[in-house]
Every structure is written in C-alpha cells, then in structure tokens.
A and B are shown apart, each in its own frame.
Chain A
Amino acid sequence: MKWFVSPRELRRRGVVGMNQRNAGLISELNPRSRYPLVDDKLRTKQLALEAGIAVPELYGVIETNHDIRHLPRIVARSDDFVIKPAHGAGGNGILVITGRMRDSFRKSSGRMVDLEGVGHHVSNVLSGMHSLGGQPDTAMVEYRVKFDPLFEKVSFQGVPDIRTVVYKGYPIMAMVRLPTRDSDGKANLHQGAVGVGVNMATGRTGQGVWHNRIVDLHPDTGAPIKNLQIPDWDTLLELAARCFELTGLGYLGVDVVLDRERGPLMLELNARPGLAVQLANGAGLGERVRVIDALQRERHPPQSRATLAQERFSQAIQPAA
C-alpha cells in the first residue's frame, strides 16, 4: 500500500477532510448557541431524561472541592461507578471504578486506588484539568455500564461504544469503538482504540481500523471483529436520530453503549464528531451527506429517518459512484 492517497481518490470516494468538516458541516449546521447542550454532559443527560431517551443513571454531582466529602455517601449505593467531568473533552478525565475492597477501589485497569486518590481525581476534574478550555468543572458520578457480552472478546478493559454520526437528523454512518491496551480503556480512535465499521442496514460489523490501518482482529485479544451482530440495532438508530431533536445540531456524534440489562444507553453527544468513522467504514461521509441533501425536505419522525437511513446506506463499504 502506498503511504499516501491522492486527493482525487479521496474526493471520488466522498471523504470529508478536517477543513471541510469544520467549514461545511460544523460551522454551517451546528449553531454555537447549542454547544453548551452537548458540551455539558449534565445538561445533555437532563435533556435526554426529559425526552425519554435512555441514559446511564446519575448517582450524584460534585460541584465544589468542599463537596468531595459527600463522595463516600454518593458511591455507597454501588460498588462500581464512573466519575467523569461534565465538560470533558475527548474522553479525558473519566475514572472507571469496577469494584471495591473496604476502602480501596479497583480501577478498570485492575490497579487499586484509595478514597483519597478518587477524591484527588474529582478535585482535578473540578479544577478543569480535563475540560475544554480548562474552565472549572463539575464531576458526575454515574452508573457503570455493564457492557453487552457481545464485545467482551474484542475489548481490552474499558467500555466499547457505538458512535453514530447523525446528519440533519439522519443517522448516516456508525462505528463500534473498541478500547485497546494502547487506548488505556478509552474508546477514542486517536488514542489507539479500534474503530469497526457497521452496516447501517443490518447492524453487522465490518472491517476495523486501528492506528489508521485496516485490521480484522482485535490487536490485544486476537478475536475477530468482523460480522458481529449489534443487538437492538433498530432501537439504537432511532435513539441516535432522536438526539437531533434534543440538540438541534445538524452534524452530531451520538455515543451509545450497550448495557447487558438496560439495552442501548446514550452516553454522550458530540458537536464535533471526528472523521475516523470514514476509515472504519471505508466510506466517505460526503457521499452520504449528498444522499440526505437530495431527499425532499419534509419533516420525518425519528423512526422513519432511521428506517430511511437503513434503506439507503445498506453497504458498509459503498461502491464508488
């Protein structure tokens, strides 16, 4: 394989570049005034709850360093929980506690941390260390998703999630993001997670991409990542489509986790979804954006939008037009 691809080839396949994403998608479709809705995960969660969209349960909120003393009370109900900054960027600053032994907590990596360590993490979060622009932040303590066994063999620690790109309310592309040893349990591709393309019609996974290379096996577990069937795929797409009404953002990334008991839960929304999803699917977003733009501009309910997307984008890898 050559080490680069010609811009003509990229254009032919409808690949959207960073500049085009910023100028054509984000600045045109995402009004700045709506950003706080998605940048503040607490507000997103409240909005989602009002709209009846399933989200992980919120155990508690810590807003000041003084409130850290409430931490033991907040986490008393559950042995496992997740602490994340309300304004976190790129999956930074998320602490996943999978279990408890007396006063010690087990991190997802298996390492132990004491209450003071958790408190320090919270105070870092409050100081804005993990937040966009470094402004003081709020820490959220919430339900730790027990992810679906489907992805057990193809994840290395952490929570695999499904990123769906929703364009003008239509889910146009999706990928499963599998954490690896490299990504330290995080599901962000640029941190080393594997992105796996998903067939929009069936919810079956296709090829994966890891560090910008095509892979068929999970780099850590060695399990195949192809042809996994995502359960509740239709529900998931509809949930993603409904997030458009929630935010009014025309170019939106919806991150959904599959919980063993509760099904698809909306984890967070992203007003600036990245472009790696194109690599995972081997298809350009531009192609699909054009299909949606060509549709008659009538208001469809989320469910029919999801169905329509399923009809139009059946192939994980689009044949070149």
Chain B
Amino acid sequence: MKRFHLPLLIVALVATSLTIFYHKAFNLGFPLTPAQTTNNWIVEARVGFEPNGGAVTARVFIPYEPKGLAILDENFISRGYGLTTSLSGENREAVWTTRQPSGRQVLYYRTTVYQLERDRREPPYPGPVSPPELEEPYASAAEEVVTRVRARSADITSFATVLVRDMNQIPDENISLFVSSSDSDRTKVRTAIDLLAGARIPARMAHGIPLTERGRDLQPQTWLEVHNTREWVPINIHDGSVGYPENFMVWWYGDVDPVRLNRARNPQISFAVTQNYMDAVGVAQQRAEILDSRLMDFSLFNLPVQTQNMYRVLLLVPLGAMIIVLLRNIVGVQTFGTFMPVLIALSFRETELLGGIILFTLIVSLGLAIRFYLDRLKLLLVPRLASVVIVVIMLMLTLSILSHNLGIEYGLSVALFPMVILAMTIERMSILWEEHGPSDAIRQGIGSLAVAAAAYLLMINPYIDHLFFVFPEMLLIALAVTLLLGRYTGYRLSELVRFRAFKGASSS
C-alpha cells in the first residue's frame, strides 16, 4: 500500500483538478483563453392587455432552453401581480395574476441570453404521427400532394422543403385546395403540418425572434420544424430553406397564442432586442450563479479587485517553484538559495526581461564591489548585511536618477526589485566568491538568472496567467507534478557531464 500511496495521491490530485476544470470550462463556459468576449442579447417581451373587470390571469410563454442559446438572467417586471412560472409541454409559461386591475395593463419579461458553444441534447424522436382523417375531396388531394412531393424528394428534410416550395408556388389544383396566397404564415405552417402528417412526418410550429444588434417592436416569426428522426429541423415557411438564420431565438412551440388571458381582452405582445458584449468570464459567472453552482463560492472573482490582482501574481509562484524543482533536480542548475530565482522572476514582471537582467547584474556587481570593500572594515555579520542593504538602496536611487536624466525610463523600474533579495544575493555571492572562488560564484549567479528568466517567461505567458487565475484548481496539477518530480532519483543532466570521466575509465 505504501508503494502506491504517492501515485494514488498524484492521480487523485490530477483527477480532481481535471474534473473541476472540465466542469468549469465546458459546463459553465469559463473561457480557456484570455480576453474572450461572448455575444449576448437582452431580449424584452412587452405584454399588454385590457382587463374586463375582476381578477385577471395572464399566461405568457417565456423561453425554455432555446436552441443554441443559454439564459443568463431573467426579470419579471409587473407591479401588483402575483407570478408563477411552470412548464407546460415543450413550453414554459409565466402566469401573472392580479385581483383588481384597472386601465390598460403592461407586463414586461426581460432575459439575457448568450450563444452556447455546444448544442443541448435533442429530445428523442416522437415516432411517426398518424395521418389526419380528412373528408373528400381533401383526402385524395392530400394523398396526391404527398405522392408528388415524395417523388421529388430524397428524405424527410427535402420532403418538407419541396412541400413548402409547392405551397408557395401552387403548381396544381390539388395543393390549391389547401392553401391560398393570402394565407398568414401561421395558417401555412398549420397546413404544412397537416400535409406532413399525411406522410407520417412529425412536425411542429415554432415561434421566435431574430436577435439583431438592436430592434424594437418585433413580432414573432412563425417557423415550421420537422423531425428527421434525429433532430428537429427548422424550415422557412416562405421558401422552404432549411435552418434558422444566425442568432434566432425560439420563444415557444405549438399552434398557440403567446398570451392567453382570463377576463381581459386585446392581448398584444412585442419584443425588443439589444446586443451587448460581455467579458466571457462574467457571463460564465452569472451562468454558474443561475445554476447555483457551489464551485462559485470558491471563485477568486468574488474577492476585492485589489486582492484579485495580488493573486494573479501569487498564483504563478507555485508554477515558478515547479520550474525550479525541474531545473534543479532534473537539469541540475545551481542557483542561489532555493526560491530566490522565483522572487527575481516576479520582479522581472515589472521590469521586463532584458531591462531586469541588466539592472540586476548591474546592481549585484556594484554591490559586490562595495561588499568587498566593507569586508576590509571587518564588520560583524548583521551590521554588514544592514550596510549592504543601505548601499543597495543608494545604488538603486542613483541608477534611477541617472537613467531618468539620460532619458532611459528603464532605470526607474529598478525600484521594483525587492532590495532585501538583492542584498542577500550580494552577501551570498560574496561569501561564495571568497570561499569557492569567482568561477563558482559567477556560475551560480548566471544559473539563478537563467532559472529566473525561464520562470519569468512562463509566468508572463498570458494564457498561463489566465488559466491559473480562472482555474485555480490547476494548482493541484502543479502540486502533482512537483510531487512526481520529488520522487525522481535518476541522474541530473548536469551529472552526465560531471561524471563523464566514467566514460573513459570503463575501458581502462
């Protein structure tokens, strides 16, 4: 059991991390790349009617899982009304009730929807429908229409397309029994559903609105949907073309009015649409709230912005630490201290790489020179360290002022280096210099800088920054990798060079 402890732990960490990651990325729609925006629309339905007197009930269809869209947010604006929502068949409806309305009543329903990357699962095939019982001459005419259309079509979808086209062109008297050119869309769809039923094809009426950039007083459009045994296929009732236009929102299904009233008259409904761009993260957050996802209680986005920004940096430190483990234990790079390179890398974030390296090298070498001078004064350790800190600050100040006067703004960012880190580096380096010689000291100095640069390059990557901030569970993966590296007992790359003498010795 002991042997499997670590592997199991690693697998558990990775699995947990990936599960949360998958849920957040694909179910809640958190963006995988930074600065992603999603299209979303605010759609408003305005319902008006005149009460007859007495308690009024208004039943209004509201969208329920519209195809290709997801509902982010919804509001009901209705003063003095009681409200319930319920599912009825394929539709969802809001039921507004009030006891004593007077004058013209207006109710609003407002929803924010956004495009869904993936489609929802389609409802199952309802099965073939039974043909309607018609009287003569309609029965034989319908049969004739179906036979002719079938002869010119290949499958269910094309059958519907051809039928709709015929209904619009009216090529013979059979079809003219059913349609006239003055029919409304709704009548046409109703007729098409009846004729399709003659061919045992399930079909339904759909009502929806196009989501444009900006639109007012929109009326719902009526569409035909046929089921091709796999999914519902929308058919344009005017020309038989297949598929909804881009950004079309189905509001309700069926041959029913959107507003049904009790003790009221003159129902009216109209829609208004406004498009709106939103940070994808915000959309995903709202969506998670609607789904009441427990995960969001642990989201970094709930923290104050300042704290968020701090964590944006802090969350990358584990990554840097992982890089150090990699470079030290697998590659064998020698560095000052274990985690000093991460701290240097963090300050590179502010100074940029090249400027950072130049400034760092400059300050450390100047500091070293002064440290060697201090050595001749024979100071004790702590006062000497303190003196080095003071000298480092003065060096930074001089550099900043000098470079500012020369017009090089680089030099100003020197202040962002943690000076205690600089002082410690100088102290360590000088001891190393004295006791192990300059070559060791310089080698470790370069090693530290190289590791810091590598960590920096990884840490400034906007994708990695974004991933770790939006998906902090990635830390578990970093932990798992580090644990895995912790068990690596093989040779370091540098040892292959160090022990190269064994190559020659084997032959002797």
Interface residues of A (CB under 8 A from B): 1-7, 9-10, 13, 15, 17-20, 23-24, 65, 90, 92, 116, 120, 123-124, 127-130, 134, 182, 184, 190-192, 209, 212-214, 278-279, 282, 284, 317, 320
Q: B495, A13: Cβ atoms under 8 Å? A: no
Main secondary structure of the interface of B (DSSP, over half): helix
- Establish whether residues B500 and A2, one from each chain, have CB atoms under 8 Å apart when the complex forms: yes
Report 10 cross-chain contacts, Cβ distance below 8 Å, ordered by A residue: A2-B500, A15-B499, A19-B488, A20-B491, A65-B380, A123-B380, A134-B381, A182-B437, A279-B499, A282-B508
Judging by beta carbons under 8 Å apart, are A278 and B499 in contact? yes
User: A92 contacts B435, CB within 8 Å?
Assistant: yes
| Residue among A1, A17, A92 making CB contact with B495, cutoff 8 Å | A17
Q: Of A1, A5, A24, A182, which is within 8 A of B496 by CB?
A: A5
* Nearest-CB residue, chain B, relative to A278: B499
Asked whether B489 lies within 8 Å of A20 as measured between CB atoms, the reply is yes
Q: In the docked arrangement, what's the CA distance between A2 and B504, Å? A: 9
CB-based contact A282/B501 at 8 Å: yes
B58 to chain A, nearest CB (A): 74
CB pair B495–A212 under 8 Å, yes or no, is no
Give the distance to chain A from B327, nearest Cβ to Cβ, in Å.
Answer: 13
CB distance from A122 to the nearest CB of B (A): 11
Q: Return the CB mask of B421-456 against A: 1 if under 8 Å, else 0.
A: 000000000010001110010000000000000000
Q: Residue A13 contacts which of B329, B378, B488, B506 (CB distance < 8 angstroms)? A: B506
The listed residue with most A CB atoms (<10 A of its CB), out of B437, B491, B499, B508, is B499
Q: Chain A residues with Cβ under 8 A from B440's Cβ?
A: 190
Contact B499 A190 (CB under 8 A): no
Q: Give bound CA distance, A190 to B494, whole Å.
A: 14
Is B497's beta carbon under 8 Å from chain A?
yes
Cβ-closest chain B residue relative to A93:
B435
In the complex, which residues of chain A have a beta carbon less than 8 angstroms from the beta carbon of B382?
Answer: 127
Q: Which residues of A contact B381 (CB under 8 A)?
A: 124, 127-129, 134
Complex contact A17–B490 (CB within 8 A): yes
Interface contact B431-A129, CB-CB below 8 Å: yes
Contact, CB under 8 Å: A6 / B496: yes
B305 lies within 8 A of chain A by Cβ: no
In the assembled complex, the Cα of A238 lies from the Cα of B453 at a distance in Å of 50
Contact pattern, B 477-508, Cβ under 8 Å of A = 1, otherwise 0: 00000000001111110011111111111101
B267 an interface residue at 8 Å Cβ cutoff? no
A2 touching B503, Cβ below 8 Å? yes
A192 touches B437 (CB 8 A): yes
**B499 cross-chain contacts in A, Cβ below 8 A:** 5, 10, 15, 212, 278-279
Q: Are B501 and A214 in contact (CB under 8 A)?
A: yes
Instruction: Find chain B residues with CB under 8 A from A9 CB.
Output: 502-503, 506
Q: Are B502 and A17 in contact (CB under 8 A)?
A: no
Smallest distance from the beta carbon of A205 to chain B beta carbons, Å?
16
Q: Tell me the smallest distance from the CB of A157 to a CB of chain B, in Å.
A: 15
Interface residues of B in 81-104 (CB under 8 A from A): none
**B491 touching A214 by the CB < 8 A rule?**
no
Residues of A within 8 A of B34 (CB): none
What is the chain B residue whose CB lies nearest that of A182? B437
Asked, given contacts A129-B431, A191-B436, A317-B508, whether A17 binds B501 with beta carbons under 8 Å apart, the answer is no
Is residue B254 contacting chain A, with contact meaning CB distance below 8 A?
Answer: no
| Interchain residue pairs A-B with the least CB separation, the first 8 | A127-B381, A282-B505, A17-B491, A20-B489, A5-B503, A120-B378, A4-B496, A23-B489
Chain A residue at smallest Cβ distance from B500: A5
A191 touches B502 (CB 8 A): no
Contact check, B506 vs A18: say whether CB atoms are below 8 A apart: no
Please state if A13 and B489 are interface contacts (CB–CB under 8 Å): no
With A10-B495, A134-B381, A191-B437 already in contact, 8 other A-B pairs whose C-beta atoms are closer than 8 Å: A4-B496, A4-B503, A6-B496, A9-B502, A130-B435, A191-B435, A214-B501, A279-B498
Q: Are B490 and A127 in contact (CB under 8 A)?
A: no
Q: Does A1 lie within 8 Å of B504, measured CB to CB?
A: yes
Kindly provide the distance from the CB of A225 to the nearest chain B CB, expressed in whole angstroms. Answer: 15
Collect the chain A residues with CB atoms within 8 Å of residue B380's CB: 65, 123-124, 127
Considering the complex, give the chain A residue whose CB is closest to the CB of B330: A19
B48 at interface, CB cutoff 8 A: no
A169 CA to B74 CA, complexed, in Å: 77
Which residues of A sit under 8 angstroms from B329, Cβ to Cβ? 19
**Chain B's nearest CB lies how many Å from the CB of A215?**
10
Which residues in chain B, 325-361, are within 8 Å of chain A measured between CB atoms?
A: 329, 332
A20 and B332 alpha carbons, distance in the complex (Å): 13
| A90 CB contacts on chain B under 8 angstroms | 435
| In the bound complex, CA of A218 to CA of B187 (Å) | 107
Write the chain B residue with the least CB distance to A23.
Answer: B489
The interface residues of chain B lying within 8 Å CB-to-CB of A284 are 502
**B501 and A18 within 8 A (CB):** no
Judge whether B502 and A24 touch: CB under 8 Å.
no
Q: Which residue of B lies closest to A317 (CB)?
A: B505
With A92-B435, A124-B381: A10-B502 Cβ-Cβ less than 8 Å: yes
Q: When the two chains form the complex, which single residue of A3, A19, A123, A182 contacts B497, counting CB atoms closer than 8 Å? A: A3
Across the interface, name the chain A residue whose C-beta is closest to B488.
A19
- B437: chain A residues at CB < 8 Å are 182, 184, 191-192
Bound CA span A17–B497, Å: 12
Assess whether A1 is in contact with B503, with CB atoms less than 8 Å apart. yes
Question: Does the CB pair A320–B506 fall under 8 Å?
Answer: yes
Partner of A18, one of B492, B500, B505, B508: B492
Q: Who on chain B is nearest to A91 by CB? A: B435
Tell me, rounded to whole Å, the shortest Cβ–Cβ distance linking B279 to chain A.
45
Evaluate contact between A7 and B503: CB separation under 8 angstroms.
no
**Known: A7-B491, A17-B489. Is A212-B496 also a contact (CB below 8 A)?**
no
B40 to chain A minimum Cβ distance, whole angstroms, is: 52
In the complex, which residues of chain A have a beta carbon less than 8 angstroms from the beta carbon of B498?
212, 279
Q: Which residues of A contact B501 (CB under 8 A)?
A: 1, 209, 212-214, 279, 282
Question: In the complex, which of the residues B487, B489, B496, B508 contacts A10, with contact meaning CB atoms closer than 8 Å?
Answer: B496
Find the B residue at minimum CB distance from A18. B492
What residues of B have a CB within 8 angstroms of the CB of A190 in the complex? 436, 440
Do B332 and A18 touch (CB < 8 A)? yes
Closest residue of A by beta carbon distance from B431: A129
Contact of B504 among A116, A214, A320 (CB under 8 A): A214
Q: How far is the CB of B358 from chain A (nearest CB, A)?
A: 30
Q: A300 vs B101: C-alpha distance in the bound complex, in angstroms?
A: 104
Nearest CB of B to A109, in Å: 13
Residue numbers in B under 8 Å from A3 (CB-CB):
497, 500
- Residues on B with C-beta less than 8 A from A7 are 490-491, 496
Query: In the complex, which residue of chain A has the Cβ closest to the Cβ of B494?
Result: A18
CB neighbours of A17 from chain B (8 A): 489-492, 495
A20 partner residues in chain B, CB cutoff 8 A: 489-491
Distance of A13 Cα from B495 Cα, bound (Å): 14
- When distances are taken between beta carbons in the complex, the residues of chain A under 8 Å from B508 are 282, 317
In whole angstroms, what is the CA distance A130 to B431 when docked? 8
- Residues of chain B within 8 A of A282, CB atoms compared: 501-502, 505, 508
Residues of chain B contacted by A15 (CB below 8 angstroms) = 491, 499, 502
Contact (A23, B506) CB under 8 Å given A134-B381, A213-B501, A279-B501: no
* Smallest CB separation, A2 vs chain B (Å): 6
